[in-house]
Amino acid sequence: MSIPLMTGSGSSMQQYRCANRCTWCDGCGDYGIWTAMQRALVELKIAPWQALLCYDVGCHGNMSDKLLGYRFHGLHGRVLPFAAGAKLANPRVPVLAFGGDGASFSEGVGHLVHAVRSNYPITFILHNNGNYGLTTGQASALTWQDQPMNAAPNGIPERTIHSMDFLFSLEPTFVARTFSGDIPHMTKMFAAAIAHQQHGFAFVDVLQACPTYNHFATHEYLLERCYDCNAEGHDPSDAAKARQLATADTSKRIACGILYQRTDLPHFYDRLVPRKDKKTTPAEEVEIVDTGKWLKRFT
Ligand code: SF4
Ligand code: MG
């Protein structure tokens, strides 16, 4: 990247602490994700004033005022275009976007498609709890098809989207999967996904426990099946193996870790010809302009 990410001057968990109290249900996976994200930022020495955290609408979005730093809470399904635009304005800033499975694979699925194919240099964390938790447990596009849910007591008639197969068909440059009950592993995945911003779009699928409404992929279910594929020798540069692991039947084992990574493709902003060789950011180039003289043409 021609303009490097802002390097941290150091940070601590204390700096991210906020007086607002978390309001998620007991046992919600959001607590672990919230903790791991702060740990990852601290490990990378990124202080709250150095990063931008962008939240979609959903239970996870309530995180936006439960930690300090620059945060944005957007419209349902629209977090990715905002995050991409913010990154364009100031590529020095590490930009993280958070979205749920409902917003990301229904309302905002078009934005996800174009974020991956554009290879925007941002990090996306999918809070994948398999339902719309905030609105009391309706089925999302990732809910298992025959699973009874609120508003669908007989299960949904639509087929479930195979999210990983879909994602790999878009030729991503970074895909990781992790589990909300494993804070050390999430921390490692988040830190790697933030570092990947130098190369492009980083997608992290967090299999998240929602004890209130998800009674199929529970914390215990995920705990029994998730394993670290990198610890078992998986090489993330092996695209064929990565796709095979990501799309394998999850009823027995679920491969977690950095499933796939490539660093040889330029990202979106490095392909913008007008920005080539610029050492300043658009945010630094903004000038105060008197628009009055232009408006006079219309009076
Ligand atoms: Fe967490 Fe589910 Fe409760 Fe939402 S409804 S706060 S995702 S446990
Ligand atoms: Mg959800």
Q: Which of 142, 210, 214, 219 to mutate to test the pocket of ligand 1 (most atoms within 8 A of CB)?
A: 210
Q: Which atom of ligand 1 is nearest to the CA of 208?
A: 7
The rounded Å distance from CA 59 to ligand 1 centre is: 6
∠ CA 71-101-194, nearest 5°, is 45
Q: What count of other Cβ atoms lies within 10 Å of the Cβ of residue 78?
A: 17
Q: Is 210 in the pocket of ligand 1 (CB under 6 A)?
A: yes
pLDDT tens per residue across all 299 residues of the chain: 556 777 666 789 999 999 999 999 999 999 999 999 999 999 999 999 999 999 999 999 999 999 999 999 999 999 999 999 999 999 999 999 999 999 999 999 999 999 999 999 999 999 999 999 999 999 999 999 999 999 999 999 999 999 999 999 999 999 999 999 999 999 999 999 999 999 999 999 999 999 999 999 999 999 999 999 999 999 999 999 999 999 999 999 999 999 999 999 999 999 999 999 999 999 999 988 888 988 888 87
Residue 179's nearest CA partner among 208, 154, 151, 157 is: 208
How does strand 138-139 pair with strand 174-179? unpaired
Give the position of tokens 């630094």. 284
The rounded Å distance from CA 129 to ligand 2 centre is: 5
Domains located in the chain, CATH noted: 13-298 (3.40.50.970)
